[in-house]
């Protein structure tokens, strides 16, 4: 099985900047995530939303990268929101306590409403 390197696109919505994530969040994803997050921060949005709808694999290194994004968001007093996680990764967000600090929504509509 070939690694699906992460691709990230950034778009602006009224509720915040959205990172559309596609692929795997693992050790290979660091540069793509960092670059996209920096791009999302450029307009100083109150909220950055992570769209996991097309992410099919997150490993422990990927969790560490998300922790890094959360630390950056908190340092800038920005809110980090996640949506589109599978039930399994919602469970992992719960047991790692990421969901205590990142608001988790099922889809973009509820995430943007929640972010507003």
Partner 1 sequence: MTAPRSGARRTLAEVSVPSEPGNERRAMEKVAGAVEGLGLPAPTLERLKTAVAEATMNAMEHGNHYRAELPVVIEVSASDAELFVKITDEGSGPPAFDSEIPDLEAKLEGVQTPRGWGLFLIKSMVDEMNVTGDEHHHTVELILHLDDRAEGGK
Shortest spacing between CB 19 and partner 1, in angstroms? 18
By beta-carbon proximity to partner 1, the closer residue of 4 and 13 is 4
* Residues in contact with partner 1, shown as a per-residue x/- string from 23 to 42 under the rule CB under 8 A: -x-xxx--------------
CB of 26 to partner 1, least distance (A): 7
Strand partners, 7: 22
Q: Which residues contact 45 (CB under 8 A, 6 or more apart)?
A: 12, 16, 17, 78
Piece of 12-20, 47-55, 90-98, 106-114 that binds partner 1 (CB under 8 A): 90-98
Closest CA to 2 of 24, 30, 34: 24
Q: Sign of dihedral through CA atoms 17, 20, 25, 30?
A: negative
Cα separation, 111 vs 25, in Å, equals: 20
| Kind plus residue range of the DSSP H or E element containing 111 | helix 108-115
Nearest distance from C-beta of residue 23 to partner 1, angstroms: 11
Select from 59, 106, 107, 116 the one that contacts partner 1 (CB under 8 A).
59
CA distance 110 to 5: 28
Question: Which residues in this chain contact partner 1 in the complex, by CB under 8 A?
Answer: 1, 3, 24, 26-28, 57, 59-61, 63-65, 67-68, 70-71, 74, 86-88, 91-92, 95-98, 100-101
């Amino acid at each position: 099985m070939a690694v699906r390197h992460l691709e990230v696109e950034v778009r602006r919505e009224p509720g915040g900047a959205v990172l559309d994530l596609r692929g795997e969040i693992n050790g290979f994803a660091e540069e793509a995530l960092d670059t996209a997050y920096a791009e999302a921060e450029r307009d100083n949005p109150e909220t950055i939303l992570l769209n996991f709808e097309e992410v099919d694999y997150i490993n422990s290194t990927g969790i560490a990268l998300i922790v890094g994004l959360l630390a950056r968001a908190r340092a800038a007093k920005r809110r980090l929101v996640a949506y589109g996680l599978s039930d399994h990764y919602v469970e992992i967000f719960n047991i790692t306590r990421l969901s205590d600090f990142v608001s988790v929504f099922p889809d973009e509509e509820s995430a943007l409403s929640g972010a507003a």
